Structure 1
Amino acid sequence: MTTATLSDAANTTPANSPARVATASFIGTAIEFYDFYIYATAAALVIGPVFFPQTSGTAQMLSAFLTFGIAFLARPLGSALFGHFGDRIGRKSTLVASLLLMGASTTLIGVLPGYDTIGAWAPILLCLLRFGQGLGLGGEWGGAALLATENAPPGKRAWFGMFPQLGPSIGFLAANGLFLTLALCLSDEQFRAWGWRIPFLLSAALVMVGLYVRLKLEETPVFAKAMAQHERVKMPVLEAFGSHWRPIVLGALAMVVCYALFYISTVFSLSHGVGSLGYSRESFLGMLCFAVLFMAAATPLSAWLSDRYGRKPVLIVGCTLAILSGFAMQPLLTQGSTLSVTLFLSIELFLMGVTFAPMGALLPELFPTHVRYTGASAAYNLGGIVGASVAPFFAQKLVAMGGLSWVGGYVSVAAALSLLAVLCLKETRDDDLGAVR
């Protein structure tokens, strides 16, 4: 085929409607993060006793948080694996594969026998399935963000990129809402024996819905054009890390604040609230469900502002406020009142939405089309190693060493690290995705 013929083929590629793009990018990340968050909640409540019963209560909790961190170590590998095929074959088919892997791993956790049934095989298999969750999620976010931004009209990339960023809020709300319902309907014995498995098993039905939506998508016009012009490399991961290592590193560091805000205010705070502050599971989950509404509200607001004023100004303000929020952790959580705890959770999750929303556009804008899936996914998931993988584990250690003020310091340091990275990044609001080199 001639170049003209290939260009014509790209130009006649069926376009995805805005509604279809929004639905497909949103529903996939909502399901994927639902899967991820039900494990986070289970790790704070039940994974330790079920899979590590031979140790003390503190050791059970630390072991559960370590299995939680395994997925974050797998996510960069997932970004390399799915990024390779996403940049070589296309966004659509890769998104379907990542959703299937994540869903299968989550469902299998729901039927995995505990330590009392199969002994040491239980934690071993749990770690393997948790690794599979991380691989799937490592390829999910980048593809969803590219699906949104590469279909976005001029001047609205952050607004379109908001839809995959809304997925975590809804996924978290669904996960915690379901755990809250189970806490209200089941006794502690029933919940620990079998009730905690229900959210994992429901993942299979949700994945079928996501697959139905995504299989109806067309390839993004930006990628179709790049394919027509033979803009492909044999090993996108080598190209990305060889020629675009700086935006990967800076993008990863910019993401650290998002992870630290979220996982300290949810996973660690849930464990601390139930274990040390004396709240029941259902009470603290209810507060989290209320607080995550502020994250959902901040997401479209922050996306609109970053389209209007730029990615950097919004992120600079968000990171600065996040640094200050770390100092609020000790006084608000030490009081232990429902009002002060809910206020702290709401502040942290609101700031999570503020800093997270622009990333749906910023990270894809840092990379050219032929390595965009790999580069954006790598930056997103490498940030999780620093900001999230060990955050609950270290927070548990820090609170034992110096109290909640030390955990708040962890949040402030993470936010300061992201602020420095954002200051080093260029403004990308007006860049043409097809012209990024």
Structure 2
Amino acid sequence: MTTLSNPAKRPLTRDQRRVLGATLVGTTVEWYDFFIYANAAAIIFASQYFAPVGEENPQLAQLLAYASVGISFLFRPLGAVLAGWIGDKYGRRMVLMVTLGLMGVATTLIGFLPTYATIGVWAPVMLIVLRILQGVSAGGEWGGAALMAVEHAPTPRRGLFGAYPQIGVPLGMLLASAILGLFSLILTPEQFQAWGWRVPFLVSFVLIFVGYYIRRKVAETPVFQELRANAAQSKTPLRQLFQDDWKTIIKAALSFAGNNAAGYMVTGGFVLGYVTTTHGVSQTSMLTLVSVAAACWIVSTLFGGVLSDRIGRRPTYLIGFGFQLVWAIPMFLMIGTGNMFLIIFAVLVFTLPIGLTYGPQSAMYSEMFPSRTRLSGVSISYALGAILGGAFAPTIAQSLVGSTGWIGSVGVYLAIMAVVSGIAVLTIKEPRGTPLTPEQEAAQNEQPNLVSNAEHQKTAML
């Protein structure tokens, strides 16, 4: 078979490259904003926004800072509902533009937000409100980007195409950690605490214009164009979704929970705060480690997407969660030693199972839901999975360490999450290659009817 006749080997067209670039850049900007907050919560917000609590109980102040990270996850379903309704009625592209703008405004305002010492209790209140807006945006962003990539993809390369918006997450984390690390390196600790941490939040204002410019040039997906041409958009996508596919939502959400818990604790947030406060490792060193881990996560995510095109979505997921189950406890025992070499080794190895269970997600989710309610389905599943997994994972980890005095307890928690998600994946029928367009779905649905009619005629003749 020649390369030109094999869709899996054909060179990417200009439009396909533009789609991949738009989903990658936009998602990177979106998650840069999100991770800037997570990193700042680990090293800044406890002292500047929850100061009165920290004077009597520093650990409680840090718990509150981590909880402010998690509270935004509770509002992701709202963003998913709004984005799903917009995307299933008016298109995937519209969702990408709205969510990008909302995230950028919220992040920029955090950069200007006065501290507790300046305006008192209004400081943490306003911080949480802006974090909630970030959560609403993140709840809608992912589904639009995932479908934009996968619905433009050739069938044999959906895993690869779907991995591009996925690597926007570690790229955003890499960018966030690198910029925070740069400013913590070139500024004195006093300067960084006083104003230096604000600059990465303000940078978001510039990045939003870059993402907007790139995304506005991308055409709507072929799937939605077909829906619109046939006037086949669902008038009530949410009601139809929960009526027909509520079991699919639960399975998809649980399949994501284990990955999200691992990602938010290990490649940012908890590990960063734990190692700097407990073992006295410098913030610059840990931010550098997070940046390197993010780079490794990019590679493993692409690998996971490509592997899922070859061996299937379910096997790739199960390999990843099996790896997480085995490595979680040893990893945190290494982190607990305070030895920087062991910490680096433990975290970098763990980026492989995270990538294997994240790379195939866009493709698998897209293939699990019908076209008329697909954006609502993938967005709500992603948002619920994030609540079950990463929302309060750093807070849970901090509580486990505080109550048990054993860092390995965090590894036990991640191992349990891997088992839960692995079981959820086992309940999902392998979706690779499922038809995505309305016409293909209709043709597939007619096949059982044709077989049934043929059997009925044969029985009648007998």
CA distance in 2 between counterparts of 1:312 and 1:184 reads 43
Residue of structure 2 equivalent to 1:165: 166
Residue of structure 2 equivalent to 1:10: none
Does the Cα contact within 8 Å between 1:261 and 1:351 map onto a contact in 2?
A: no
Unaligned runs of 5+ residues in structure 1 are 1-14
CA distance in 2 between counterparts of 1:433 and 1:215 reads 24
Residue of structure 1 equivalent to 2:325: 323
Correspondences of 1:24-103 after superposition (within 5 Å) = 24-56=22-54, 57-103=58-104
Does the Cα contact within 8 Å between 2:320 and 2:357 map onto a contact in 1?
A: yes
Q: Give how far 1:411 is off.
A: 0.4
Counterpart of 1:423 (choices 405, 409, 426) is 426
1:340 maps onto 2:358 in alignment:
no
Going from structure 1 to structure 2, the CA distance change for 1:298 and 1:104 (only over 3 Å counts) comes to same
CA distance in 1 between counterparts of 2:421 and 2:44 reads 33
Residue of structure 2 equivalent to 1:221: 222
Q: Give how far 1:349 is off.
A: 2.1
1:407 maps onto 2:405 in alignment:
no
Q: Give how far 1:244 is off.
A: 0.7
Identity %: 39
CA distance in 1 between counterparts of 2:352 and 2:202 reads 30
Q: Give how far 1:347 is off.
A: 1.9
CA distance in 1 between counterparts of 2:51 and 2:415 reads 35
| Aligned partner letter, 2:47 | P
Does the Cα contact within 8 Å between 2:329 and 2:410 map onto a contact in 1?
A: no
3-state SS in 2 of match to 1:17:
helix
| Aligned partner letter, 1:37 | F
Indicate the structure (1 or 2) with the bigger Cα radius of gyration: 2
CA distance in 2 between counterparts of 1:125 and 1:47 reads 13
Deviation track 1:79-111 (CA, whole Å, cap 9, x = no partner) reads 001110000111111210010001111111110
Computed over aligned residues only, the root mean square deviation of the Cα atoms, in angstroms, reads 1.2
Deviation track 1:389-414 (CA, whole Å, cap 9, x = no partner) reads 11000100001122111110110011
Q: Give how far 1:71 is off.
A: 1.2
Does the Cα contact within 8 Å between 2:320 and 2:352 map onto a contact in 1?
A: no
Does the Cα contact within 8 Å between 2:96 and 2:145 map onto a contact in 1?
A: yes
* Higher deviation after alignment, 30-39 or 289-298: 289-298
Q: Give how far 1:238 is off.
A: 1.9
CA distance in 1 between counterparts of 2:377 and 2:113 reads 34
Residue of structure 2 equivalent to 1:256: 257
| Aligned partner letter, 1:282 | T
Q: Give how far 1:16 is off.
A: 7.3
Does the Cα contact within 8 Å between 1:75 and 1:138 map onto a contact in 2?
A: yes
Residue of structure 1 equivalent to 2:355: 353
Correspondences of 1:365-404 after superposition (within 5 Å) = 365-402=367-404, 403-404=406-407
CA distance in 1 between counterparts of 2:227 and 2:29 reads 29
| Aligned partner letter, 2:420 | L
CA distance in 2 between counterparts of 1:107 and 1:242 reads 39
Correspondences of 1:69-218 after superposition (within 5 Å) = 69-218=70-219
* Higher deviation after alignment, 325-334 or 412-421: 325-334
CA distance in 1 between counterparts of 2:112 and 2:289 reads 29
Q: Give how far 1:335 is off.
A: 2.1
CA distance in 1 between counterparts of 2:239 and 2:286 reads 45
Does the Cα contact within 8 Å between 1:25 and 1:148 map onto a contact in 2?
A: yes
Unaligned runs of 5+ residues in structure 2 are 1-12, 446-462
CA distance in 1 between counterparts of 2:120 and 2:236 reads 42
Q: Give how far 1:280 is off.
A: 0.7
* Higher deviation after alignment, 233-242 or 195-204: 233-242
Q: TM-score, length-normalised on structure 1?
A: 0.95
* Higher deviation after alignment, 398-407 or 97-106: 398-407
CA distance in 1 between counterparts of 2:108 and 2:237 reads 31
Counterpart of 2:21 (choices 23, 26, 32) is 23
3-state SS in 1 of match to 2:86:
helix
| Aligned partner letter, 2:428 | L
CA distance in 1 between counterparts of 2:182 and 2:22 reads 27
Deviation track 1:93-148 (CA, whole Å, cap 9, x = no partner) reads 12100100011111111101111111111111111110000011111010000000
1:287 maps onto 2:294 in alignment:
no
Q: Give how far 1:277 is off.
A: 1.6
Residue of structure 1 equivalent to 2:311: 309
| Aligned partner letter, 1:42 | A
